[in-house]
Structure 1
Amino acid sequence: MTHDYTSRIVWTGNRGAGTVSYRGYDRTWDIAVPGKPLVHCSNDPLLGGDRGKMNPEDLLLSALSACHMLWYLHYAAEAGVVVTGYEDTPVGHGEVGAGGAGRFVAATLRPRIQVAAGTDLALAEALHHRIPEVCFVARSVNFPVHHAPEFAVET
């Protein structure tokens, strides 16, 4: 079975003269998906982008983390692991080559997961190992995705 995802990217960086010169335009755009909030974006701040806007690297890392979280919650519910809180502070590890082109070389997801008292923490941790087999985003990237979960047990 196949299915499609759509998006609309609208460049917003024309200062009036378009791309007449390399420094004459902004690297900004909006992500406009019908029925969803507009997302204002810019390129990486290392390349002169706006720190206050999402960049492609932010979006990829966030998508990877969110996909992992959703599968984790699914597997936790199936396994009887009661999750009461989940937050992640993932880190994308990148490199820039000699010609200036960059890429992700790895990502580390660092979820902090709150679980109910009495939770089997070994089982809760083991659920993470199943996710790379099914996470749409993780299966689509060409770099390793590591995870370093921490658990907090409700008292």
Structure 2
Amino acid sequence: MATYTAEVSWALRPGEDFAKGRYSRGHSIAFDGGVTVPGSASPHVVGKWAVTEAVDPEEMLVAALSTCHMLTFLHVARLAGFTATSYRDRAEGVMAEIAPGRQAVTRVTLHPRIAWAGDEPDAAALAELHHAAHEGCFIANSVRTEVVVA
């Protein structure tokens, strides 16, 4: 079993009013590999109190699903005898109401574009590779969100 860590840090800044909700949602996220990234709530959620240049939790979820699918896909493609030379994805997550007052990222659509060296999988083989990648993706196995490969 593996353990993964992230340290999230936030502090109230001078002049902000916590009681009235007038405070920045900007924070930092330090990962166990040493990388620290700026985080924030989504501007769609808190408007001007978001830090638009930072990543928000919804974006991180979409990126985690896309990254996990890609890494698993590359592995299963290699095992199937194919050679991928590049992989690009513009993943898109959709937030929807799941119950009164409750929202969730309900669907993530992946749009992978893959370049190959040598033999390329046909449409059926490509679909099977994506299916196997989805089944093996740890993150997809961890969420209820629908993940679709377009």
Q: TM-score, normalised by structure 1?
A: 0.84
Report the TM-score, using the length of structure 2 for normalisation.
0.87
- Unaligned stretches of 5+ residues in structure 2: none
Q: In the alignment, which residue of structure 1 is the partner of 2:38?
A: 40
Show the counterpart of 2:88.
Answer: 87
Gapped regions of structure 1 (runs ≥ 5): 149-155
Alignment partner of 1:7 is 2:21: no
Cα 1:35–1:136 shift into 2, 3 Å: closer
Cα pair 2:24 2:51 within 8 Å, conserved? no
Quote how far apart the aligned CAs of 1:44 are: 0.5
SS at match of 1:136: coil
| Equivalent residue for 1:125, pick from 105, 124, 127 | 127
C-alpha distance 91-35 of structure 1, shift in aligned 2 (>3 A)? closer
The worse-fitting range, judged by mean Cα deviation, of 42-51 and 31-40 is 31-40
Shift of 1:35: 4.2
Change (3 A) 1:20 1:89: closer
Q: Tell me, in whole angstroms, the C-alpha distance in 2 between the residues paired with 1:20 and 1:33.
A: 27
Percent identical pairs in the alignment equals 35
Compare 130-139 and 57-66 and name the one that shifted more.
Answer: 130-139
1:26 to 15, 24, 27: 24
In the aligned structure 2, how far is the partner of 1:139 from the partner of 1:34? 22
User: Using the alignment, how far apart are the partners of 1:145 and 1:35 within structure 2?
Assistant: 27
Deviation string, structure 1 residues 61-81 (Cα, Å, up to 9, x no partner): 000000000000001111111
* Partner of residue 104, structure 1: 105
- Which 4+ runs in 1 deviate beyond 3 A? 17-20
Taking the aligned partners of 2:52 and 2:113, their CA distance within structure 1 comes to 25
Q: Give the 3 Å change call, closer, same or farther, for CA 64–45 of structure 1 in structure 2.
A: same
User: C-alpha separation between the residues in 1 aligned to 2:93 and 2:14?
Assistant: 35
* 1:15–1:24 Cα contact (<8 Å) kept: no
Count of residues in Structure 1 that have an aligned counterpart in Structure 2? 145
